[in-house]
Structure 1
Amino acid sequence: MPITLVIIVVSLVLFVYYKVQQAKAAGFMEKRWYSSKGSIAVGLFFISFGINAYNSLGSQIAAIVAVLFVSFGLVNVILGTRDYRRFLPLARKEVEEMKKAETEN
């Protein structure tokens, strides 16, 4: 089984997991944090799908499709990573404040 197929399956599973966690999250920043992680997973899916499509088909049209998928995947990974770094400290602070508010009640 080629490594790209493993990455495709793992990234889709991670995407679903992060979307479920996003739905369960209580705070806004925590939801955005999980959304950014899901964006990274989708980006990895698109990159590996594009590479796999080119490797299995090998035609000129497959090359064009692969470039589009890899570009779209890179954009998702880059923007997802940027958002992840931005929202991680805010999400941690939000969770700490929620825990603190629960213990005071």
Structure 2
Amino acid sequence: MIIFPLTIIITAIMYLYYKVMILRTKDPLLQEIQNAKARIALGLFMIFFGVNQYLFYETTLALYIALIFLLFGILQGYGGSKRWKHYKGELSKR
């Protein structure tokens, strides 16, 4: 199962990349868009991390922890996608 560790690493790198791009961007609207993308990457990271931990340990405790990670990951990803769509529309209005 090499796919989960690779996706965890890729999403963590994407999260850090978007957070650094927030610091480098001067426009507040573009900063919000980058922050929304970072939240999506964080959500994906949490989802894949939770699934990977459950598949690695396969215990009841790991299942509960994985479900918590899945819940928070889905919330982060959903919130980030809503923000991204909203601010992308605001950018197109300019």
What's the RMSD between the two structures over aligned residues?
Answer: 1.2
- State the AA in 2 paired with 1:89: G
Deviations 1:68-99 (A, max 9, x none): 001000000100000000011323556xxxxx
Deviations 1:18-50 (A, max 9, x none): 011111111111101000000000000000000
Residue 38 of structure 2 aligns with which residue? 38
Gap runs ≥5 in structure 1? 95-105
Moved over 6 A (4+): none
Residue 55 of structure 2 aligns with which residue? 55
Gap runs ≥5 in structure 2? none
- State the AA in 2 paired with 1:41: A
2:2 paired with 1:2: yes
TM-score, with structure 1 as normaliser? 0.84
2:94 paired with 1:85: no
Give me the whole-angstrom Cα distance separating, in 2, the residues matched to 1:12 and 1:93.
Answer: 31
Give me the whole-angstrom Cα distance separating, in 2, the residues matched to 1:34 and 1:67.
Answer: 27
Q: How many residues align?
A: 94
Give me the whole-angstrom Cα distance separating, in 1, the residues matched to 2:90 and 2:12.
Answer: 26
Identical amino acids, percent of aligned pairs = 27
TM-score, with structure 2 as normaliser? 0.94
State which drifts further: 82-91 or 70-79.
Answer: 82-91
Of structures 1 and 2, the larger Rg is shown by: 1
- State the AA in 2 paired with 1:25: T
- State the AA in 2 paired with 1:61: L
